[in-house]
Structure 1
Amino acid sequence: MPAPASTDAARPDTALILVNLGTPQAPTAQAVRRYLSEFLHDRRVVSLTRWLWCPLLHFGILPLRSGRVAHKYASVWMPGEDGGSPLAVYTRRLARELQAELPQLQVIDAMRYGQPSLHATLRRLRDQGVARALVLPLYPQYSTTTTASVCDVLARTPGPAARMVDHYHDDPGWIAAVADSVAAHRARHGAGDHLLFSFHGLPQRLADEGDPYPRQCEASARAIAAKLGLGAGDWTLAYQSRFGRERWLEPATADSLQALVARGARRIDVVAPGFAVDCLETLEEVAMMLAEDVSKAGGELRYVPCLNDTPAHAAALAAIARRELGAWA
């Protein structure tokens, strides 16, 4: 097991907890089933009544999907002693980068679902005598399905006094870091004919009920495009990773890519700024599956990696943490 971002040698009384969604512990059907079971039991994720949802989940979805999803994870699993699921590896490495930026804090990575769990992390910090915990969910855009679920854990878990960053979709430092990563990618590989911003999808029903997520995605994309100096016709926003049968946010990333190729775009750059670090949804879905679909249609998808554990990402998040801690003081 890789070492945590900070050691027991010196425990400051304030901690910074980077929280990501979560991931299976191994690319196996059993591990994926355990992870998906926890994830899909969250009422923030699936709000169906339990008497209907639980039998469907345990006797239909999990038996059918766990093996297929495990195969997808295996295709992106990172090798080596510090390897594993990309989401876990990059989140862990990002915590280490932030520890170097913020030596006065204890910087820890945790997961909303799976391990290391946020619930256990909060209890451990309390037992260590940590007085305050700044919780930074690695979701730039707020959603009731993600950020609010982290807040639920804080509300029901005994731990240090906690303050949470609920979004940073328009933070200038973060916007600049994403824009710079796109510019650097284009400098290395040449600019594509179009830039597509792909965000994780959400049921349209939740947006209709007031979830601010799509508005914040749009604001992020506009700010990044402006920082890059792009015109209105140079970029598009779309949503990926649809699950279930109800209507989700549109346009869909897959449909947008096909439309761009049909209009004559041959090289399409895709960036996913709703994801702090690369994961199954960016690496397998976008950089592999959708890239293959675009290739079959006669185009080329060039994926721009997430910020991951880059110094620019750590610096942007460190600035957010300093600002939040200053306001808390």
Structure 2
Amino acid sequence: MLPNNHPTLPTAKTGILVANLGTPDGYDYWSMRRYLDEFLSDPRVVDTPRWKWLPILKLIILSFRPFTSGKAYKSIWNEDQGESPLMTITRAQTDALREQLAAQYGDKVQVEFTMRYGNPSIVSKVREMVENGCERILFFPLYPQYAGATTATANDAFFAALKKETMQPASRTVPAYFAHPAYVDALATSVEHAYAQMETRPDHLIASYHGMPHRYLTQGDPYHCHCVKSTRLLKERLGWEDGEIISTFQSRFGVEEWLKPYTVEEVARLAKAGKKNIAVIAPAFSADCIETLEEVNEEIGDAFKEAGGESFTYIPCLNDQDIHIQALTQIINENLHGWV
């Protein structure tokens, strides 16, 4: 029996915390500056020595980049809800996962989402979960392919948040799931559905992944290998021939060499080679965001047409489609084994 002055203890439960990259709170200058400052100050994202990089970031990049990035965000902003599409979609994914997992486990689990950069922060959500009685937390970065600049930095922030807790919950992190059959099937199903709606079958499907400096590959980051294998597994699941799907990399930043081929250059090359009809999918993104809605669907689509292409189709991310939610639920259940 607890003494009279003992603090009230919540019912013990298990937390599932899904995490995505992040989003600015608005597309105005100061919202964009705060977000970009946090993002680009992360040494996992830009590993240039701090003494060299931070003055460039603070004095030069953050003086003009918020304007250009803000303009891009404004073009895709969910004005009805006052937030970016990534926030809207991640919330919808979480609501769907919460419903699925509550049907299985009732009030034994708590499902929340967080952002590595911006809000809701990982620190705030870990604190909330601990206060609500989560004695175990499964942390799930929503990146199918592992990369130091995505999965690892999210895990870093999660572990840093745990350091602030007097009573640390037991914790697990979900590993990369690029080869999970349920994820591959969901990806293939989305392609099949999109192709069924087209009058003309595309000459090629471009699997466009977020890029990274090539030297990260030589330093041991498995991201490139995960991406190439994702494309191969997708091709095999679809039953297609070699060459029907091409892996490319987008979002290059800075002057050094990044993973190739670059998406924007490859689609232009295809157009100049007489390929008039292509489709693009972004398997590295679990939810549509600035890199897919603005960069792929607008900038890269324009590059294809300017080079002579005619029909450009962007196949949306899996977002909160039922088959995606079922896949994520299966992955969560596998990683909850022995906990619930």
TM-score bracket for this pair, using the shorter chain length: over 0.9
Q: Report the counterpart of residue 253 of structure 1 in structure 2.
A: 263
- Cα distance in 1 between the residues matched to 2:190 and 2:297: 16
Q: Report the counterpart of residue 230 of structure 1 in structure 2.
A: 240
- Cα distance in 1 between the residues matched to 2:241 and 2:181: 20
Q: Report the counterpart of residue 7 of structure 2 in structure 1.
A: none
Cα distance change on mapping 1:319 and 1:79 into 2, 3 Å: same
Q: SS at 1:148's partner residue?
A: helix
- Cα distance in 2 between the residues matched to 1:97 and 1:52: 44
State which drifts further: 153-162 or 64-73: 153-162
Residue pair 1:238, 1:251 contacting (<8 A) in 2 also: yes
- Cα distance in 2 between the residues matched to 1:318 and 1:169: 15
Q: Report the counterpart of residue 169 of structure 2 in structure 1.
A: 160
Residue pair 1:13, 1:132 contacting (<8 A) in 2 also: yes
- Cα distance in 2 between the residues matched to 1:180 and 1:263: 29
| 1:3-30 deviation line (CA, Å, top 9, x unaligned) | xxxxxxx976111111000010111111
AA partner of residue 236 (structure 2): A
1:155 CA displacement:
2.3
AA partner of residue 173 (structure 2): M
State which drifts further: 305-314 or 225-234: 225-234
Task: Find 1:185's aligned residue among 176, 181, 194.
Answer: 194
Is residue 176 from structure 1 mapped to residue 185 from structure 2 by the alignment?
A: yes
Tell me, which stretches of 5 or more residues in structure 1 are unaligned?
Answer: 1-9
Is residue 267 from structure 1 mapped to residue 267 from structure 2 by the alignment?
A: no
Q: Report the counterpart of residue 219 of structure 1 in structure 2.
A: 229
- Cα distance in 1 between the residues matched to 2:257 and 2:306: 27
- Cα distance in 1 between the residues matched to 2:210 and 2:172: 26
Deviating runs (4+, > 6 A) in structure 1?
Answer: none
- After superposition, the CA RMSD in angstroms is 1.4
Is residue 58 from structure 1 mapped to residue 61 from structure 2 by the alignment?
A: no
Q: Report the counterpart of residue 74 of structure 1 in structure 2.
A: 74
Cα distance change on mapping 1:219 and 1:57 into 2, 3 Å: same
Match runs of 1:37-56 below 5 Å = 37-56=37-56
Q: Report the counterpart of residue 288 of structure 1 in structure 2.
A: 298
Q: SS at 2:224's partner residue?
A: helix
Residue pair 1:201, 1:241 contacting (<8 A) in 2 also: yes
1:296 CA displacement:
1.7
- Cα distance in 2 between the residues matched to 1:193 and 1:79: 36
| 1:91-128 deviation line (CA, Å, top 9, x unaligned) | 11000111111102211110001000112111221122
Q: Report the counterpart of residue 286 of structure 2 in structure 1.
A: 276
Residue pair 1:125, 1:160 contacting (<8 A) in 2 also: no
Residue pair 1:271, 1:304 contacting (<8 A) in 2 also: yes
Q: Report the counterpart of residue 202 of structure 1 in structure 2.
A: 212
Tell me, which stretches of 5 or more residues in structure 2 are unaligned?
Answer: 1-9, 163-167
- Cα distance in 2 between the residues matched to 1:38 and 1:176: 35
Task: Find 1:311's aligned residue among 318, 322, 327.
Answer: 322
Residue pair 1:95, 1:107 contacting (<8 A) in 2 also: yes
Cα distance change on mapping 1:233 and 1:328 into 2, 3 Å: same
Q: Report the counterpart of residue 250 of structure 2 in structure 1.
A: 240
1:226 CA displacement:
1.1
Cα distance change on mapping 1:11 and 1:254 into 2, 3 Å: farther
Q: SS at 1:120's partner residue?
A: helix
AA partner of residue 34 (structure 1): R
- Cα distance in 1 between the residues matched to 2:303 and 2:150: 29
Cα distance change on mapping 1:328 and 1:222 into 2, 3 Å: farther
Residue pair 1:29, 1:69 contacting (<8 A) in 2 also: no
Cα distance change on mapping 1:220 and 1:327 into 2, 3 Å: farther
1:328 CA displacement:
5.5
Task: Find 1:298's aligned residue among 304, 308, 318.
Answer: 308
- Cα distance in 1 between the residues matched to 2:140 and 2:328: 9
Is residue 94 from structure 1 mapped to residue 93 from structure 2 by the alignment?
A: yes
Q: SS at 1:134's partner residue?
A: strand
